[in-house]
Structure 1
Amino acid sequence: MAMKLLRIISLCTIGIVLCAASRGDAATLEAVAPTASCESLAETDMTAIGGAGSTITAATETTSDGIAVCNVTGTLAPQVNFQVVLPMESWTQRYLQVGCGGLCGNITLTSGASTGCKVLNDGGFVMAATDMGHTGNDGKWGLDETQRADFAYRAQHLTAEAAKALIAAFYGQPPQYSYFNGCSDGGREALMEAMRFPDDFDGVIAGAPAMLFQVQNTLYHGWMAASNYDADGEVILTSSKLPALHAAVVAACDESDGVTDGLIAQPALCSFDPQSIACAADAAENDQCLSPAQVEVVRKFYAGPQDAESGAYLTAGQPQYGSELEWQGVYVADNADSELFSQMIVDPVLKYLAFDPARPEMELADLKFTEATLTELRTRHPFFDATNPDLSAFEAAGGKLIMWHGLADPHISPANTLALHEGIAATLGADSAAGFERLYLLPGVGHCGGGQGPGSLDLLSPMMAWVEDGTAPEAVMTSSSGEESGFGQPDGVGSDGGERGQALDLGVEPLPAMTRPAYPYPHVASWSGEGDVNDSAQWSMGPATEIVSLRDWPGADFFTPYAFSE
């Protein structure tokens, strides 16, 4: 579970004070012992929260990584399953709720972006999670009005209320501070909590948020899949071509951010033409070059869907330069006869979630990349999407928000997260936004972690310091862990039961282990020009600059204030 995290790499080296000075400290809170037995929580009445049929299904004392806990499971009507883990001896009066990725459908108690967080590792949080009101991946639950609402916003809110009721019953007091941490759809859930229920949490961490749910899971992934199938349904660009493509992008753009380190920290400055690695006309195709059809696929990936008549782009942004190795297993398959994972993502959303009324017979081939389709997606935009920049109620409640996104994320473009960040400042004013919101963009980091960049970090500790001590986060230390993250990742199973394939070893040498500070947008980390580029001691805050480009598109108003629908 969440308390079992990656081993932290020591980041506070001689001559650097970022770990202690800029982050502040969380409040010193005494551990509180239970005032009731674990077993008694099984009798806690949940009907006032979830309605008739809501119940606690089990309350059992157990251990997790040596920490004694009371493990409680329950159901909020009609079928929102949840789990709450309450420490028996180590609770420091804090509550942490975590989100889930993809279309959810299971309970995962994992807190990402928390590497080395002492309060978490010491069992100081009560933790909770939910399956969002359904199981399975086929999306048919989307035909039910209540289950749609459970997934859109209801399940996380009710789980927060249920967990707080159990905390009060078990310890005889409410939590002093409450936090939410999620990535991917969990990031959307995090933002939905801040936007719809501003009093639920004091601090919200939203990683790579799938906030633009409607467009993300139709036009974005639909375009990526459709672009990489030929007329016979074969995959055009396969994984074996990605190392050469990525190497060419890095060669063209690595120095654009001021340092040669194998990472592209400012993809907005990158200019790359995939034709530059096209196979010669008289050469046999090989893994070091791209065929004409593959060049066109890569161009389509970077550009994104466009209405053929108006020329308008239909997404806020696309994968960034430097993300190419992360395309494997998403919209690039290892084998030509594979089904692309992007198609698996799109299928249940097209059929059961995106449109009103539902279109159960719809296939990828039926998806039209037009402004008319974008207009059709507007019907459920105020229901599923979490892009409302008017966070004035959350700000007034004293809430703090940290958003973060890997620049090598293949699933969700960082342009979406930047668009919300800019929208908050435009709506509330830059000074007001700076008082409660931060955005971190991480070079070379994939979806919710992983990638070649330094994707191991702790945002939970600085969030606690911000909420409890009033110290706003500035520099946040990151490191390369060499391990993939499961936090917020889609589970890799399609609606037909097909599994996402990502078995081919691309033979790419990992970059050297590195530590590096990350700074709030729009600042980047700047190398001193001397010493080891992989040592955080050689980096400081650089100037405000363009990191990700934003473009005009007919859905830009999705990031302006709107009224949520039920």
Structure 2
Amino acid sequence: MNRSLRSRRFPAAAAAAALAATLLASCASIPGAAPRPLAAATPATLRSCEALAGTFAFGETAIESATPVAAGATMQGNAPIAAHCLVKGAMHKRKGSDGRDYAIAFEMRLPQAWNGRFFYQGNGGLDGAVQPARGALGGGPLTGALAQGFAVISSDAGHTGAQTPYFGMEPQSRLDYGWQAVAKLTPMAKALIASAYGKGPDRSYIGGCSNGGRHAMVAAARVGAEYDGYLVGAPGYRLPYAALAQIWNGAQLRRLATPGATVAHPQNPNATIPDLASGFTAQERRTVARAVLDKCDALDGARDGLVQATQACQAAFDLKRDVPTCTGARNGSCLTPLQKDAIASVYEGARRSQGQPIYAPFPWDPGIVGANWATWRFTNPITLDPLSVGIVFSVPPSPVTPFTEDIDARWQRLHATDATYRESGASLMMPPSQDDPRNMAPLAARGAKMVIYHGVSDAVFSAEDTRQWMLRLDRALDGRADGFARYFPVPGMNHCSGGPATDAFDLLAPLVRWVEGGVAPQAVTASARGPAHGGGANAELPADWSPTRTRPLCAHPTVARYNGSGNVEDAANFSCR
């Protein structure tokens, strides 16, 4: 990786750095010459569809249906998808230790005119539902793998009930959700492709956003030989830690909330939850966003409502200094000292009682105004994260009490095992060696590639956590990480999409060009989703932006800087440098 990235500050103890250097000295490094691009995939035509239901056989697999889908019957945004075969089935049907029926349900979509490539679609949240296998990564990146001609698989990761955590009581279901569903589905999917086309995939890719990004990073560490390209969005690769940090954050923000104020529970209309947003209102968040813009907007050469120079902004902006302090009643234009203390502590990163970090800090960015930001900060620490931490990630499973939880004791339960749960929640969810990712070296050596993107204003999985992983990767790969992985921060974007951002982009096609053509992505054009956008409008675009604004997404550590002339709404007038 280039010298400017390696020289940036990284918050690690000197002793840890020395140990890492000692360990690296004993490891094989990547050869000096970059590996040649992998051979390009070659297309093929679907030989049959309906017959697959009766002819395909694979261990522990039942094909339930295989149905032709006409061109235009499935859409990607407002664009019709070409004719394909929809295969539905399940693997490893079983009776769980809790007496419930389990299986890894899936669907595969096999294009009539196939490009020779396979895409594993990692889904988000707690999985639990088979999402349409279009290979699309949410409201932001709008070009899906199926539309590009890939054969695509999607699954429920081994349990049913979208966003339902109670599968976490069943040990094998935990493991399937964590990583084993990908390991089981991948060889079956490749065999199904071979049956359908007369040959297996020439190149295989895996991608997703949020938990889907975590699936991709875990696959790289655990089944790296199976995939050639990894498209990793907003990776919750330390999901148990991030979820515990959410609970800690909720306790900090509860101190600011109006006593007795409540809002409706998002999943239970008969219940209410404390109104954490009353302690940091939308108007107050706009005040903070304006202060960030005042200090940081022009650092990239243009005052345009976007902070491209994220790292420089962290040094330039100080919440306590740069946001007015209330001298009287709160009126939205200032913050009280208590607000500043609590909000600053959340951005600095959750900690255990003795100061040990639970999770990463979060970067300041004007995307703090986003509705998705508010949901993750004010609602999910009460309704979602306690269930996942308590039931899916803890050994043994046990209830979490928001606002009063013993964080130190819960941290221990994330790492515990017992006779029933033989792998800890932290272990089954996170990539092995995520603190020192030397296990990426074999992937890099054989020519596999990874492209990562992350909204700078993601409020649950920190873009700084992703940046720090890239720095650890660079050390582990002896300073050559940019020959294997590229990281694209998305200024203003919230979790996977939304916020005041140019959040519509395609990173899959650049990943393919890198894997199969040797062309490393450096600048990828992203656009705002105005009312006429084919993938649906982003209601949070500022009124003074062009609805068709474009910007280059730049591979870190380069920054999209204004060239000094030309329309600031056009990416052509910015350069990554």
Confirm or deny: 8 A CA contact 1:180 1:204 kept in the other structure: yes
C-alpha separation between the residues in 2 aligned to 1:28 and 1:342? 45
Pair 1:450-2:498 in alignment:
yes
Q: Does the aligned pair in 1 maintain the 2:38–2:447 contact within 8 Å?
A: no
1:33 and 1:257 map into 2 onto residues whose CA distance is 48
Higher mean displacement: 102-111 or 314-323: 314-323
Matched with 1:398 is 447
Distance across 1 between alignment mates of 2:377 and 2:218: 31
- Deviation per CA, 1:315-371, whole angstroms, max 9, x where unpaired? 2222533231136442455xxxxxx12322212122212221221x3322342344x
Higher relative contact order (CA 8 A, sep 6+): 1
Within 5 Å, which residues of 2 pair with 1:38-437?
38-46=50-58, 48=59, 51=60, 54-63=61-70, 64=74, 65=80, 67-78=82-93, 79-88=103-112, 90-108=113-131, 109=133, 110-112=135-137, 120-121=146-147, 124-136=149-161, 137-219=163-245, 221-230=246-255, 232=260, 233-235=274-276, 236-265=279-308, 266=310, 267-274=313-320, 276-278=322-324, 280-282=326-328, 284-308=329-353, 310-326=354-370, 328-333=373-378, 340-359=379-398, 361-370=399-408, 373-379=410-416, 380=424, 381-386=426-431, 387=434, 389=437, 390-431=439-480, 433-437=481-485
The structural deviation recorded for 1:102 is 1.1
Q: For the structure 1 residues 301 and 66, does the alpha-carbon distance in structure 2 shift closer, same or farther, using more than 3 Å as the test?
A: closer
Counterpart residue number, 2:23: none
Deviation at 1:42, TM superposition (A): 4.1
Deviation at 1:271, TM superposition (A): 1.6
Q: CA deviation at 1:206?
A: 0.4
Percentage of matched positions with identical amino acids: 26
Contact 1:129 1:159 in 2 (8 A): no
* Matches of 2:160 and 2:342, distance apart in 1: 35
CA gap 1:312/1:257 in 2 versus in 1, 3 angstroms: farther
Q: Secondary structure at the match of 1:59?
A: strand
**Take 2:64 and 2:466, find their aligned partners in 1: how far apart are those partners?**
38
Q: CA, structure 1 residues 118+307, in 2 after alignment: closer, same or farther (shift >3 Å)?
A: closer
CA-CA distance at 1:197 after TM superposition: 0.3
Rounded Cα–Cα distance in structure 1 between residues aligned with 2:458 and 2:544: 17
CA distance in 2 between partners of 1:399 and 1:541 (Å): 24
What is the match of residue 560 of structure 2? 525
Query: 1-side partners of 2:38 and 2:146: how far apart?
Result: 12
Deviation at 1:140? 1.2
Aligned pair in 2 of structure 1 residues 324, 117: CA closer, same or farther (>3 Å)? closer
Shift of 1:410: 1.5
* Distance in 1, Cα, partners of 2:550 & 2:326: 40
Asked if structure 2 preserves the Cα contact closer than 8 Å seen for 1:256 and 1:270, the reply is: no
| 8 Å Cα contact 1:274/1:298 also seen in 2 | no
Between 388-397 and 467-476, the greater mean CA deviation after superposition: 388-397
1:382-426 Cα offsets, whole Å, 9 max, x none, are 221122612123224431111111112122111111121111111
Inter-partner Cα distance in structure 2 for 1:130 and 1:278: 49
Aligned to 2:419: none
> How much has 1:82 moved relative to structure 2?
0.6
Farther-moved stretch of structure 1 (287-296 vs 200-209) = 287-296
Where does structure 2 lack aligned partners over 5 or more consecutive residues?
A: 1-36, 75-79, 94-102, 261-273, 417-423
| Cα offsets for 1:138-164 (capped at 9, x unmatched) | 311111111011111011222222221
Do the aligned partners of 2:207 and 2:216 also contact (CA within 8 Å) in 1? yes
What is the TM-score normalised by the length of structure 2? 0.77
Offset from partner CA, 1:266-324 (integer Å, 9 cap, x none)? 23233222565456434x4323333454334322322232344x334332222533231
Once residues 188 and 66 of structure 1 are traced to their aligned partners in structure 2, the CA distance between those partners, rounded to angstroms, is 27
Contact kept, 8 Å, 1:275 with 1:295, in 2: the verdict is: no
* SS of 1:253 mapped into structure 2: helix
Q: Would you say how many aligned residue pairs link Structure 1 and Structure 2?
A: 482
- Contact (CA 8 Å) 2:351, 2:358: kept in 1 or not? yes
Task: Verify the 8 A CA contact 2:158 2:176 in the aligned structure 1.
Answer: yes
* 2: CA distance, partners of 1:398 / 1:27: 10
Flag the 1:77–1:204 CA change in 2: closer, same or farther, 3 A.
Answer: same
- Hey, what's the Cα distance between the residues in 1 that align with 2:144 and 2:562? 29
The 1:105–1:300 alpha-carbon spacing in structure 2 relative to 1, beyond 3 Å, is same
- State the partner residue of 2:9: none
SS in 2 for 1:285: coil
Residues 358 and 328 from structure 1, CA distance in 2 versus in 1: closer, same or farther, beyond 3 angstroms?
same
CA RMSD, Structure 1 to Structure 2 (Å): 3.0
Distance in 2 (CA, whole Å) between partners of 1:483 and 1:304 is 37
Contact 1:319 1:412 in 2 (8 A): no
Rounded to whole Å, the distance in 2 between the matches of 1:174 and 1:183 is 26
Q: Distance in 2 between matches of 1:131 and 1:138?
A: 12
Q: Within 2, Cα distance between the matches of 1:198 and 1:332? A: 34
Contact between 2:240 and 2:389, CA under 8 Å: does it hold in 1? Answer: no
TM-score normalised per structure 1: 0.78
Conservation of the 8 A alpha-carbon contact between 2:292 and 2:364: no
Q: Partner amino acid for 2:342?
A: V
Task: Give 1:256's aligned amino acid.
Answer: L
Unaligned 5+ runs, structure 1:
1-24, 334-339, 488-504, 543-566
